[in-house]
Amino acid sequence: MSDLGVAVVIEDDEDMRGLLQAVLGQAGFDVHTAADGREGVEVVRNKGAHVVTLDLGLPDIDGFEVLRRIRLFSDAYVVMLTGRTEEPDMLTALHGGADDYITKPFRPLELRARIGAMMRRPRPSALAAHPPALHQVAQRALPRDETIIRHNGLALNYQTRTAEVGGAAIELTRSEFDLLLELLRAGGAVRSRVELVRVVRGEHYPDDAYISESDERSVEVHIANLRRKLRENPEAPRWLQTVRGVGYRLAPDRAADTRH
């Protein structure tokens, strides 16, 4: 196995499959391929994939169904690749457990940058055995006594990448955790959608990388999922406030409000 682990390419187009195999192989992955969805699921299972690139339009079962089946047994990072640009497809992919969504044609360097950013943020299941270095989970170091950030009943532990509300654990994806952590760190300052796209992509994502409207909409999807998991009341948010036309910020500290 290579240093970066196993990557599986699920793609029916032979030329695209070869390109992806070359790109991921040059990046340092041990790459395996599949030309249809059912075969792809088995390759992911048998090879213990760490990263999967998944075409949406496959000849047997579509990429959404492949993603659903993979998520039954694997927490591999999944990047959906498709020529479709419709927003519902992107939303379905992200809701279904995809980590990223890239439309074709794409630049190979962009794919490598996105995958690299994902892998610098380990899954929570990997943290017990291998606690991450601080630079893997933070863009700005927190004071040493702030391993756990608390706000309006929410407790976020950035070292174990766990979250609780009122003592009850909340299961968050990598992107959801990173967005929530960034907004908590900002302490009420507004973070634009473009800034939050870069948070999801990783601190080493190039500053001049193109941010599309679909990238910004993906942040909206992640925020919507966060609100659902936190059971946020949109009329009186405890944590996530929308700043129309700009982005998001942390809701005020309710304890502070009661003192005035």
42: phi > 0 → left, psi -120 to 50 → alpha, else beta; which? alpha
User: For the chain, where do the domains classified as CATH 3.40.50.2300 start and end?
Assistant: 6-119
The pLDDT assigned to 121 comes to: 64
The pLDDT assigned to 200 comes to: 84
Count of H-run helices and E-run strands, the chain: 10, 12
CA distances for 174 relative to 22, 44, 120, 130, 252, angstroms: 27, 20, 10, 16, 25
Q: Which of 79, 2, 6 is nearest to 49 (CA)?
A: 6
CA 40 from chain centre, in angstroms, equals 21
The pLDDT assigned to 45 comes to: 93
The pLDDT assigned to 209 comes to: 65
The pLDDT assigned to 208 comes to: 59
Q: Are 21 and 27 in contact (CB under 8 A)?
A: no
Q: Are strands 77-82 and 51-55 parallel, antiparallel or unpaired?
A: parallel
The pLDDT assigned to 13 comes to: 92
The pLDDT assigned to 205 comes to: 57
Instruction: Return the structure tokens found at 71.
Output: 């998520």
Q: How many Å apart are CA 219 and CA 206, to the nearest integer?
A: 18
Q: How many Å apart are CA 88 and CA 85, to the nearest integer?
A: 9
Q: How many Å apart are CA 94 and CA 200, to the nearest integer?
A: 13
- Name the stretches of the chain with pLDDT < 50: 1, 125-145, 257-260
The pLDDT assigned to 107 comes to: 86
The pLDDT assigned to 10 comes to: 97
Secondary structure percentages of the chain, helix, strand, coil, to 5:
40, 20, 40
CA 60 from chain centre, in angstroms, equals 27
- Cβ partners under 8 Å of residue 202, min gap 6: 113, 116, 117, 118, 120, 121
The pLDDT assigned to 83 comes to: 79
User: For the chain, where do the domains classified as CATH 1.10.10.10 start and end?
Assistant: 129-258
Q: How many Å apart are CA 59 and CA 88, to the nearest integer?
A: 21
The pLDDT assigned to 46 comes to: 94
> Domain 6-119 belongs to what architecture?
3-Layer(aba) Sandwich (3.40)
Place of tokens 């706000």: 151
CATH 3.10.129.10 fits 129-258, yes or no: no
Q: Which of 78, 83, 108, 106 is nearest to 93 (CA)?
A: 78
Q: How many Å apart are CA 260 and CA 89, to the nearest integer?
A: 47
- Cβ partners under 8 Å of residue 211, min gap 6: 194, 197, 198
DSSP, collapsed to helix, strand or coil, labels residue 47 as: helix
